[in-house]
Amino acid sequence: DVKVTQSSRYLVKRTGEKVFLECVQDMDHENMFWYRQDPGLGLRLIYFSYDVKMKEKGDIPEGYSVSREKKERFSLILESASTNQTSMYLCASSINTEAFFGQGTRLTVV
Amino acid sequence: GEDVEQSLFLSVREGDSSVINCTYTDSSSTYLYWYKQEPGAGLQLLTYIFSNMDMKQDQRLTVLLNKKDKHLSLRIADTQTGDSAIYFCAESGDYKLSFGAGTTVTVRA
């Protein structure tokens, strides 16, 4: 059974903290993605990676960075968390036609 | 996203058909997708259609694609309470998917 696993379901962090969101997939997929989901805005792409050590900016990369040191792991980093980064974060991996999503991490920045 | 648009809410009576509509802007999209998100869960792929097709049927689901108008629809026949969820339309371009804002479908008895 295919699996995309996000390390936390819920996270509460303070403003200014450095935050790491981890995502691991077991399908040997080349492509991995980080989205944030907000009501009325749908999913917006933050960053994606199509190979190890490769990364591309999505539509809303400001305030975020990513790391892909191994094929199965794609990390999203909030360098200095702010309250407007409170959101649901979804990781996905894909090959060809289908993207598989993790369960999401609901991050609250206080 | 602004490249993919869909209405935000749909209320339907149990047993009726639901039709969710979507428009997109990228004429080079290869595949178009419908994803379902149940409360507290990630997104699950429901179905997809290749851009050179105009219809695809899969059990209770029918996808219609009008490539000229860049319009995609999802019809759910005999809608059940378990169909209550958010439905996302998405298009593929290069390596990434662009999603609409999602349509919240509420099934009432």
- Look at residue A60 in the predicted model and tell me its pLDDT: 95
Taking the mean position of all CA atoms in its chain, how far away is CA B47? 8
Query: Does residue B19 register a pLDDT over 50?
Result: yes
- Look at residue A34 in the predicted model and tell me its pLDDT: 97
Q: What is the pLDDT along chain A (110 residues), one digit of tens a residue?
A: 668 999 999 999 999 999 999 999 999 999 999 999 998 888 999 999 999 999 999 999 999 999 999 999 999 999 999 999 999 999 999 877 678 999 999 999 99
Interface of A with B in 60-89 (CB under 8 A): none
Of the candidates B1, B42, B101, the beta carbon closest to that of A104 is on: B42
Segment B37-81, tens digit of pLDDT: 998 888 999 999 998 899 999 999 999 999 999 999 999 999 999
Residues of chain B contacting A, Cβ within 8 Å: 1, 4, 8, 31, 41-45, 48, 88, 92, 95-102
Alpha-carbon separation of residue B106 from A75, B8, B15, B33, B72 (angstroms): 35, 11, 13, 21, 20
Yes or no, beta carbons of B42 and A31 under 8 Å apart: no
Query: Does residue B1 register a pLDDT over 70?
Result: no
| Contact present, B71 and B23 (Cβ < 8 Å) | yes
| Contact present, B22 and B73 (Cβ < 8 Å) | yes
Measured over the CA atoms of residue A82, residue A10, residue A7 and residue A39, the dihedral's sign is negative
The token duo for A58 is 């999505």
Q: pLDDT band at B26, cuts 50/70/90?
A: confident
- Look at residue B29 in the predicted model and tell me its pLDDT: 76
- Look at residue A1 in the predicted model and tell me its pLDDT: 66
Question: How far apart, in whole angstroms, are the C-alpha atoms of residue A53 and residue A30?
Answer: 11
Question: How far apart, in whole angstroms, are the C-alpha atoms of residue A64 and residue A40?
Answer: 22
- Look at residue A2 in the predicted model and tell me its pLDDT: 67
Question: How far apart, in whole angstroms, are the C-alpha atoms of residue A52 and residue A74?
Answer: 9
- Look at residue B42 in the predicted model and tell me its pLDDT: 87
Q: Which residue of A has its CA nearest to B43?
A: A101
Yes or no, beta carbons of B96 and A4 under 8 Å apart: no
The token duo for A37 is 């989901």
CA distance A4 to chain B (A): 10
- Look at residue A36 in the predicted model and tell me its pLDDT: 96
The token duo for A39 is 């009501």
Q: Which residue of A has its CA nearest to B104?
A: A40
The token duo for B54 is 């105009």
**Going by DSSP bridges, is the β-strand pair A10-13/A105-109 parallel, antiparallel, or unpaired?**
parallel
Yes or no, beta carbons of B45 and A99 under 8 Å apart: yes
Q: How many CB atoms lie within 10 A of CB B69?
A: 8
Yes or no, beta carbons of B44 and A101 under 8 Å apart: yes
CA distance A22 to chain B (A): 15
Query: Does residue B95 register a pLDDT over 60?
Result: yes
